[in-house]
Structure 1
């Protein structure tokens, strides 16, 4: 059997100190952190000095430190929406095969839904495309994302209409849309009842971070009249897949 690759203990200890400094938020000195985490004070100072020299930490005076420019630059390149997309792709391919429908993943930017994944039987028959942006108020994914915005941001969206009718069932009245979004937030899923295209039915659920915020949503769509949606079964499959994505992305 192949032997496990040995770990570098010094690197592990330095990373633990980096985490301790970041969690502390610059409130405590290096010596205080060393005592709190049972690290020799001299060792802690050497670790922090190295992290400062490499740009991962920056001194603020009084022996205190915060995230340095190199660490902030790395964090700025971390896009958890793209992380969710990458993790979700094989799971959504599997969900599409299981349901025999089109499965999509979308995120919310600039009051629009950005479609990041589209897969499954009949995908070419739906007008959406990967990287396409569409209005949020008239789709299942969009309603899920709107329903889980912070209240002030949701209110600003609702006040920013008008909401143009794309079909006979599109919700265009801000008060009606507000009520719809409240119901979506309570139920944990949204339906598109031919609101963006009269030929399409859709059910969508959120992908949640541990703090409850929603960076993305996934949906199952099918042309109306093609086998029905069987909402309960579709929802169960969607929620199971969403939980798998959340576990892979956000579990520590």
Structure 2
């Protein structure tokens, strides 16, 4: 007698197949996919047909399927700024509490940094607010996001100056900025050393999307006369928070780029 598949077992198989097809980008057909996942071919055919009927998958060739309209719509909604803010906030609150500093989460929009979440019991000490935008070239989060741009996009950004000095330490030379962004890319973190405000120092690390791109970043800010925390320990703590955000938002950590 054929054992009846439990709802949990069916769901797990469906999610496993859906996840593999999305990451596979229609590279393998259903038969090859079944072999790769260790599932019976008829089972994979049945699940794929159901997902296609629901719009989560779309047939792109004989036996091959890609992302469907329903899944694209769901992903768009899940990554909307309001949804991101809700998902990120608990982890950012935890980071602010652990570091006893003000923490931010921001994304790159229109060549500017948009702050989606601000956390910290002493947040009123800092002029930033949720929803505001700040120049990318001088902020910690902005440097993280700029450092991860494709070469053509970075060239376009750096050629679109002039860049305005907000303080005596703001770097505005495109060539020097390019070198700094390369260091940020190699180090995996950025520092804003009083380049936005004379009493403000920030550290930032990337939050990576499933494609490996840093489309978001988190920062921790220190205001004078507070002492700057031990950098290595702070960055390690921030990276843990970034990974936790990736797991909360996407269900997995984004791949680290070399």
Q: Shorter-chain TM-score: which interval?
A: 0.7 to 0.9
Most deviating of 60-69 and 180-189: 60-69
Aligned length: 245
- Superposed, 1:44-123 pairs within 5 Å as 46-60=46-60, 62=62, 64-79=64-79, 85-123=85-123
Gaps of 5+ in 2: 1-5, 254-258
Gaps of 5+ in 1: 1-5
Distance 1:200 1:10, change over 3 A: closer
- Superposed, 1:60-209 pairs within 5 Å as 60=60, 62=62, 64-79=64-79, 85-209=85-209
Aligned to 2:227: 228
In 1, the alpha carbon distance for the partners of 2:189 and 2:35 equals: 48
Most deviating of 51-60 and 162-171: 51-60
In 2, the alpha carbon distance for the partners of 1:125 and 1:11 equals: 48
Determine which structure has more spread, i.e. the larger CA radius of gyration. Answer: 1
- Contact 1:113-1:133 within 8 A present in 2 as well: yes
Quote how far apart the aligned CAs of 1:48 are.
Answer: 4.5
Task: Name the Cα RMSD after superposition.
Answer: 3.1
TM-score, normalisation: structure 2: 0.78
Quote how far apart the aligned CAs of 1:109 are.
Answer: 1.4
Most deviating of 140-149 and 45-54: 45-54
SS at match of 1:153: helix
TM-score, normalisation: structure 1: 0.79
Which whole-Å deviations, capped at 9, do the CAs of 1:9-31 have from their partners, x for residues lacking one? 45555555555665665566656
In 1, the alpha carbon distance for the partners of 2:243 and 2:34 equals: 38
SS at match of 2:108: strand
Quote how far apart the aligned CAs of 1:116 are.
Answer: 1.1
Distance 1:173 1:121, change over 3 A: same
In 2, the alpha carbon distance for the partners of 1:117 and 1:143 equals: 18
In 2, the alpha carbon distance for the partners of 1:128 and 1:90 equals: 19
- Contact 2:104-2:118 within 8 A present in 1 as well: yes
Quote how far apart the aligned CAs of 1:120 are.
Answer: 1.3
SS at match of 1:77: helix
